[in-house]
Homo-oligomer: A and B are copies of this chain.
Amino acid sequence: MTERRADGDGRIESATHYLPLRVHYEDTDLSGAVYHANYLKFMERGRSDYVRLLAIDQTALAAGPDGLFFVVRHCAIDFLKPARLDELLEVRTQFTGTSGARLYCVQSIWRGAENLARADLTLACTGKDGRPKRLPEILRQAVAGRQADAR
């Protein structure tokens, strides 16, 4: 039984989702900072928790007849400053638009007022076979509604 909301899942304000997260040993590499690819994991946590708070059930979509998954098609990311062990970070996520099977997204990672990373992502909705599928209507509407709210 999955609880749909939990304190750790962050919060939505207007069209932005805010996810706090803690840097753990597993996230670091021998430079002492967070390994760069793990920023993408942090961002994916932000997107998933945002989607869950929008009442979209990725598990049900994946298990359903169409076997829907969200996959990253493109990511342009700037790594601005290193994050380190034990630091409390915040992932900010905005869905900036949709078109057909695509979902556009801007994300950033912050430590207090310092911007550590920012990224533009293009996601696609696909079936288990990898072919594009139209985004679930509930997600299209949620994104459209949130964007309208934010104006």
Contact = CB atoms under 8 A, between A and B. Distances in A.
B71 A59 contact: no
Contact of A29 (B25, B77, B82, B130): B25
Given A37-B37, A85-B58, A69 B8 contact: no
Contacts of A28: 29-30
A66 to B, nearest CB: 13
Nearest to A28: B30
Contact of A59 (B37, B57, B85): B85
Q: How many copies does the complex hold?
A: 4
A129 to B, nearest CB: 10
Interface in A2-44: 2-3, 6-9, 20-22, 24-26, 28-33, 35-38, 40-41, 44
Interface of A: 1-3, 6-9, 20-22, 24-26, 28-33, 35-38, 40-41, 44-45, 48-49, 52, 57-59, 62, 69, 71-79, 81-82, 84-88, 112, 128, 130
